[in-house]
Amino acid sequence: MNQEFIIERVNKQNFNDLLYLIEKLAEYEKLEPPDKKAKNRLMKEGIGKNSKYRAFLGKLNGNPISYVIYYMTYSSFLALPTLFLEDIFVLENYRRNSVGQRMFDFCVEKAKEKGCGRMEWCVLNWNTPAIKFYEKNKATKMDWTFFRFTKDQIDSYIPKKN
């Protein structure tokens, strides 16, 4: 890649670029993009000193073409922080040009800076290009099943009585 590629933190000025890329990821994964309320929460909870997550844009010649979102969790077994990579996304026209690799390398460096004992993420089972990418980077594929409660499930949950 002979053009200028930079990675910059998401802020109020470039936040709409992040939203654009999140919508492109939703399109790729055939999911509903964030609604207006979710977009407002993304802004409120991701921008500023006490943000709940960190977001960074990958820009090529000033144009946003990729992003990463990560946040910190904690390993009880290692007694060390864990960097959880929520999203890593590259626009289709820029894949296979080392953009994804540079964004992934950036996250690994952040994990090192923060003294993490590990870095984790999930990949959809059908996303074979992503799986191959992570295998190429020597990531360990875990033999775990990922579970989820939606907001509706949380709100309607009734604790079991013994």
The sign of the CA dihedral 150, 151, 152, 155 is: positive
Total domains present in the chain? 1
How far is residue 59 from each of residues 65, 94, 96, measured CA to CA in Å? 6, 11, 15
68 found inside a domain: yes
| Alpha-carbon span 51 to 49, nearest angstrom | 6
pLDDT-derived band at 3 (thresholds 50, 70, 90) equals confident
- pTM equals 0.91
CATH code of the domain in which 56 resides: 3.40.630.30
Q: Is residue 161 part of a domain?
A: no
Q: Would residue 162 count as lying in a domain?
A: no
| pLDDT tens digits for range 8-19 | 999 999 999 999
The CA distance from 41 to 57, in Å, is 18
pLDDT at residue 155 above 80? yes
Contact 53, 7 (CB under 8 A): no
pLDDT in tens, 114-147: 999 999 999 999 999 999 999 999 999 998 888 9
The mean per-residue pLDDT over the stretch 42-66 comes to 95
Residue pair 51/34 in contact by the 8 Å Cβ criterion: no
Catalytic residue among 53, 71, 94, 134: 134
What does the chain come to in residues? 162
- Which residue range(s) make up the domain with 32? 5-156
Residue 72, in any domain of the structure: yes
Active site (annotated) includes residue 67: no
Q: Is residue 22 part of a domain?
A: yes
